Structure 1
Amino acid sequence: MRRNRPAPLPGVTGVARLDRRTKNLTKRLRPGDIAIIDHIDLDRVSAESLVSAKVAAVVNVAPSVSGRYPNLGPSILVEAGIPLLDGVGGEVFSQVAEGDKVRVDGKVLYKGEEQICVGADQTVNSIEAAMEEARAGLATQLEAFAANTMEYVRRERDLLLDGVGMPEIETKLEGRHVLVVVRGYDYRDDLTALRPYIREYRPVLIGVDGGADALLEAHYKPDLILGDMDSVSDTALRSGAELVVHAYRNGKAPGLDRLERLGLDSVIFPATGMSDDVAMLLADTKGADLIVAVGTRFSVVEFLDKGRDGAASTFLTRLRVGGKLVDAKGVSRLYTARIQTWHIVLLLIAGLLAVFVALAATPAGQAWLEVVGIRLNDFIYWARGLFT
């Protein structure tokens, strides 16, 4: 007698993966997992990482849209068809363990038959409504951004204006093009579009933390790796690139311990701000002719999407670097690979070879080549007579 299988439970079921830092969690995620995060105002890069990991659902302890500014992450998740259960509260971290099988059904998170927590089931319409409210409050965030910018100027005036505190590095940047790669917005597409530019100009390749792995994935070897070393692989660190540890202004460098355990030499660069901004300041101070940025932020919303503290250094760094800085998308749109002389030579050789093969394949052509061979021998004999 055939037994009836129990009807599948409603909602989405998967293995729970938890971390209060989304960046750390994405390294452990597997397709079909349910990601439990604590990420207020979910940003675009984090959302794209969750989508790339092919999670079954996302449960956020904090509000994915707080209303402070129109952040970009929630709509990316929902448009990808990933359920987003929002604002469930921090107790979930004590009620669910890594590896537990959980289920998201509408506004509720279950573990087995037990209801763990209730939150807001975000949809396209709810997110769009929240975005409209957030846009109304954007002016307040810009005021806070401006205040934080002034504080950053006060702390880093000497570094910004005079380059005081720049470390001595072995990688030569003076008079070179420099490509600063961050594993951020559209970095894969940008690196693909820049292949002709990289092949022709051979820029110095700087990987900012995980940007070094992005370069390796694209089959490039980084010349220099800069960052706090928390999201770059051991493989990239051992690739032979020069290592610059981004430290706090007081000199404390948490990433230094990791490099020492790996037996790798490094240079310490104490500075406030984001590591990609510090990399641009380093390239500018060391005399780079052009700085091409891959995966970085350029719009106001993207600045705020990183948080006000990071946005201050980003904005002022672009003022400092000025006309040297070009976004990767601009380079790929404006740059056209030049035809080199050796390209033309190879084309001519290939054409002559094709003609020779065509002539050798016909009786008339063979006779003509024989006559040419005789005339060539006569010329060589005559030329030798001139020198004997």
Structure 2
Amino acid sequence: MSVMKLIPRRSGSSRARSHVAENGSVTRGPARVGTRTKDLTKRLAPGDVAVIDHVDIDRVAADALVAARPAAVLNAARSTSGRYPNAGPGILLDAGICLVDDLGPDVMQLPDGADVEVDGGRVVVDGQTVAEGTRQTEETVEEAVAAAREGLSAEIERFAENTMTYLQRERDLLLDGVGVPDVRTVFEGRHVLIVVRGYHYREDLAILRPYIVDNRPVLIGVDGGADAILDAGFKLDMIVGDMDSVSDAALSSGAEIVVHAYRDGNAPGLERVKALGVDPVVFPATGTSEDIAMLLADDKGAELIVAVGTHATLVEFLDKGRAGMASTFLTRLRVGGKLVDAKGVSRLYRTRISNTQLALLSLAGVAAVAAALWSTNVGQTFFGIVAARLDDIASWIGRLLGG
């Protein structure tokens, strides 16, 4: 197995750019260390080496890392623990990003910005080995995923138990809407679009632009989904969530804020919202934030609920670190026929017309118009005038150059 070396930044040197050595096995770049992957990706630049502590790298985290284009990802934890077949490691490798796994907590002590060199499974700082892990390959990832599939039966059993527990705990909320708070946003008889930071949520939102423009639905962002709505150029009506991944800009956008609190009244995001001078609505519930957004819209009389980026499968909920997906399973039963799941709609339709084809089509249209004009007396007169003007311009340029 080849060797990974991490070399600290030399004083006085400019910011190192990652590169691959001539032998093709070494990658270098400045280390960026972060305990929360979704926060780290916001400050990653192309060529950086991401140092994370993320058990079971999920699809959303992997997509965010790929978008940042790091040279390598060093994971203190196991990228696939065996609990379920997560897709993150495979996404990173498919993007050509080096992934070194199970390095242990010491790698998180690397100084942020230190120049690192990656070559295999060992981590070296200034000639000293500080950690050693496993460099992942397509073969090792496939083996880990295959082994993890065998553990899904235990997760399904936990899901069944979780479903009964959730139903007993939230029975009044699910069946009678008891506990749904009053809000100022008007839902009665309107369409509602709920955007969650899930798989392909940005692409799906872009595809739905004509629907949003035509129907003007109530736009609800669930945590980070609020920023996606703003980035797409739309005005937020409401933000729902525990406020751990939404920006201050979104919270200060004028949208109504509904803070998702635990049943015991603890709401981790409440103080953050109040510190921005915003008076939020608190919604205590056991389920996920996307669930309470759906229940809120349904209880307030929404005619149709369109969901983007939501989580509905067992693997998706395990990606989110949930013990089970009972809340969403029962919420979807409660909302019923009002719900239109638009997750993945961008994968149904993708344009196959290239820029070259569009240019040729435009030229053909111009040629057709020109031919139609030429066939008329007015058109021939017009082209004669244009030709005379062009001749005058050519003569003027000739005189200018001759002078």
Q: Counterpart of 1:110 in 2: which secondary structure? A: strand
1:318-351, Cα deviation, whole Å (9 max, x unpaired): 222222211215777999xxxxxxxxxxxxxxxx
Matched ranges for 1:47-86 at <5 A: 47-86=62-101
- Percent of aligned pairs with the same amino acid: 62
Structure 1, unaligned runs of 5 or more: 1-5, 336-353, 364-388
Query: Which residue of structure 2 aligns with residue 243 of structure 1?
Result: 257
Change (3 A) 1:155 1:21: farther
Instruction: Measure the CA separation in 1 of the matches of 2:322 and 2:249.
Output: 32
Query: Which residue of structure 2 aligns with residue 372 of structure 1?
Result: none
Instruction: Measure the CA separation in 2 of the matches of 1:295 and 1:321.
Output: 17
Establish whether residue 103 from structure 1 lines up as the match of residue 120 from structure 2: no
Establish whether residue 228 from structure 1 lines up as the match of residue 242 from structure 2: yes
Instruction: Measure the CA separation in 1 of the matches of 2:75 and 2:276.
Output: 35
Query: Which residue of structure 2 aligns with residue 177 of structure 1?
Result: 191
Structure 2 contact 239–256 (Cα < 8 Å) conserved: yes
Deviation at 1:154, TM superposition (A): 2.7
Q: Counterpart of 1:97 in 2: which secondary structure? A: coil
Instruction: Measure the CA separation in 2 of the matches of 1:273 and 1:329.
Output: 20
Query: Which residue of structure 1 aligns with residue 28 of structure 2?
Result: 13
Q: Which residue type is aligned with residue 52 of structure 1?
A: A
Instruction: Measure the CA separation in 1 of the matches of 2:326 and 2:238.
Output: 24
Q: Which residue type is aligned with residue 88 of structure 1?
A: L
Of 253-262 and 147-156, the range deviating more from structure 2: 147-156
Structure 1 contact 273–310 (Cα < 8 Å) conserved: no
Question: Could you tell me the TM-score, scaled by structure 1's length?
Answer: 0.80
Q: Counterpart of 1:254 in 2: which secondary structure? A: coil
Structure 1 contact 181–208 (Cα < 8 Å) conserved: yes
Q: Counterpart of 1:303 in 2: which secondary structure? A: helix
Instruction: Measure the CA separation in 1 of the matches of 2:31 and 2:345.
Output: 42
Matched ranges for 1:93-242 at <5 A: 93-94=108-109, 96-242=110-256
Deviation at 1:309, TM superposition (A): 2.7
Matched residues, number: 335
Structure 2, unaligned runs of 5 or more: 1-20, 350-368, 379-403
Q: Counterpart of 2:100 in 1: which secondary structure? A: strand
Establish whether residue 37 from structure 1 lines up as the match of residue 37 from structure 2: no
Instruction: Measure the CA separation in 2 of the matches of 1:268 and 1:53.
Output: 35
Q: Which residue type is aligned with residue 305 of structure 2?
A: I
Q: 16, 22, 25: which one pairs with 2:37?
A: 22
Q: Which structure's CA Rg is the greater one?
A: 1
Q: 269, 273, 292: which one pairs with 1:255?
A: 269
Structure 1 contact 148–308 (Cα < 8 Å) conserved: no
Q: Counterpart of 2:269 in 1: which secondary structure? A: helix
Instruction: Measure the CA separation in 1 of the matches of 2:25 and 2:149.
Output: 35
CA RMSD of aligned residues (A): 2.5
Deviation at 1:282, TM superposition (A): 1.0
Deviation at 1:152, TM superposition (A): 2.1
Structure 1 contact 101–112 (Cα < 8 Å) conserved: no
1:52-92, Cα deviation, whole Å (9 max, x unpaired): 11111111111111111111111111111111111111222
Question: Could you tell me the TM-score, scaled by structure 2's length?
Answer: 0.77
Q: Counterpart of 1:20 in 2: which secondary structure? A: coil
Deviation at 1:225, TM superposition (A): 0.8
Instruction: Measure the CA separation in 1 of the matches of 2:168 and 2:49.
Output: 43
Instruction: Measure the CA separation in 1 of the matches of 2:258 and 2:265.
Output: 13
Instruction: Measure the CA separation in 1 of the matches of 2:211 and 2:94.
Output: 33
